C-alpha cells in the first residue's frame, strides 16, 4: 500500500469519517503533507513520515500543546497522532501582504509567548527535536544548554557526515567552550517555538497568525529572533512591536550570528552548498563577541 493510501486510512479511522479527497502540500523536507477532505465536510491537515524517529509526531503534538498553553499564540488543534502521522485542524490561509496590523500583533504575541517561560533550559520530557533529532536535556543556563544540546551534537553530526572541514568543526567545539564569555544576557528560560522561520507561521483569512511545525524548548529568546532573521519574512512592525512589549538587551543584533550557528550547521549537514561558508562567517562574527 502506498504512503498516501495508508495515511488516508489512518486519518479516516482516527476521525471516524472516510477521506474523500487529498491534495499534496509542498514546503517540507522531512515529512509528506496533505490537505484532506472528509466525507462529513471537514478539512484537515495530515502528514506522515516514511521512517519516523521514535516519538517524532508525539513530540510535535506536545510542542503545539505547550505553545498553546501559554495563551499567547494560536496553534492548530491536534486531532489525531500516532507513531507515523499527525492530523491537525485546517487553517485557511489569507494573503500575506504588507499587513501592518498582523505584523505588529504577531510581534506582541511572540513576546508574550517568550514571557510565558519554561521550567528550565531544555524540555521537561527530554524529547529530541529537529530533523537531526537534537537532544533537549535540561540545563541550568543558556550556555550549558546551547553547548551540550546544540553545538557539540551538531559538530559530531557534521564530522560524521563530512559536511564541514576539520578546522570548522574544531572552531564549533571551541565556541561551545567559551559561550559564557560572549555577552549573552542572563535571562530566565523563554518558551520558544524553536524553528521560527516564516514558513512556520501561517496568517489566516482574518489576518491572525498561527504557529506550526514547532521544535519547542525552553531557551534564550534571542534564539527564536535569530531564526526569524535568518531567512526573513517578518515585517519591521513585528520587530518593533516585540521590542515595545519586551525590550531586548543591548547588542542583541550582534549576537544573531551566534544563535544562528545551530540552524546553519544543520543546513550545512543537510544541504551543503552555501551553508558551509555561512557557518564559517557566523563563527567569525560570534568570535568577535565578548
Name the residues annotated as catalytic: 195
| Nearest of 14, 102, 22 to residue 61 by alpha carbon | 14
CA angle 55-191-61, nearest 5°?
Answer: 25
Measured CA to CA, the distance from residue 192 to residue 159 in angstroms comes to 28
Whether the CA torsion 186, 187, 193, 199 is positive or negative: it is negative
Report how far residue 211's alpha carbon sits from residue 194's, in angstroms, rounded to the nearest whole number. Answer: 11
Please state, in angstroms and as integers, the Cα–Cα distance from residue 2 to each residue in 6, 7, 42, 233, following that order. 6, 9, 23, 35
Amino acid at each position: 500500500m502506498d504512503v498516501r493510501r495508508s495515511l488516508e486510512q489512518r486519518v479516516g479511522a482516527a476521525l471516524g469519517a472516510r477521506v474523500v479527497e487529498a491534495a499534496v502540500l509542498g514546503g517540507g523536507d522531512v515529512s509528506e503533507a496533505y490537505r484532506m477532505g472528509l466525507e462529513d465536510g471537514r478539512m484537515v491537515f495530515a502528514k506522515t513520515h516514511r521512517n519516523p524517529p521514535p516519538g517524532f509526531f508525539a513530540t510535535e503534538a506536545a510542542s503545539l500543546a505547550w505553545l498553546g498553553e501559554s495563551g499567547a499564540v494560536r496553534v492548530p488543534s491536534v486531532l489525531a497522532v500516532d507513531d507515523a502521522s499527525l492530523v491537525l485542524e485546517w487553517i485557511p490561509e489569507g494573503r500575506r501582504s504588507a499587513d501592518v496590523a498582523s505584523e505588529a500583533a504577531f510581534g506582541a504575541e511572540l513576546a508574550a509567548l517568550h514571557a510565558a517561560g519554561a521550567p528550565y533550559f531544555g524540555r521537561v520530557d527530554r524529547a529530541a527535536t529537529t530533523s537531526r533529532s537534537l537532544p533537549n536535556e535540561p540545563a541550568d543556563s543558556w550556555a550549558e544548554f546551547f553547548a551540550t544540546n546544540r553545538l557539540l551534537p551538531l559538530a559530531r553530526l557534521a564530522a560524521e557526515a563530512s559536511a564541514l572541514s576539520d578546522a570548522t568543526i574544531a572552531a564549533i567545539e571551541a565556541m561551545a567552550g567559551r559561550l559564557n564569555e560572549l555577552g549573552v544576557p542572563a535571562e530566565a528560560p523563554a518558551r520558544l517555538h524553536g524553528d521560527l522561520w516564516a514558513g512556520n507561521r501561517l496568517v489566516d483569512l482574518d489576518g491572525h497568525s498561527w504557529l506550526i511545525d514547532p521544535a519547542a524548548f525552553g531557551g534564550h529568546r534571542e534564539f527564536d529572533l535569530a531564526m526569524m532573521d535568518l531567512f526573513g519574512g517578518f515585517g519591521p512592525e513585528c520587530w518593533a512591536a516585540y521590542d515595545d512589549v519586551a525590550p531586548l538587551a543591548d547588542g542583541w543584533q550582534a549576537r544573531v550570528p551566534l544563535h544562528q550557528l545551530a540552524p546553519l550547521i544543520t543546513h550545512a549537514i543537510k544541504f551543503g552548498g552555501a551553508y558551509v561558508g555561512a557557518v564559517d562567517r557566523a563563527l567569525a562574527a560570534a568570535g568577535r563577541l565578548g
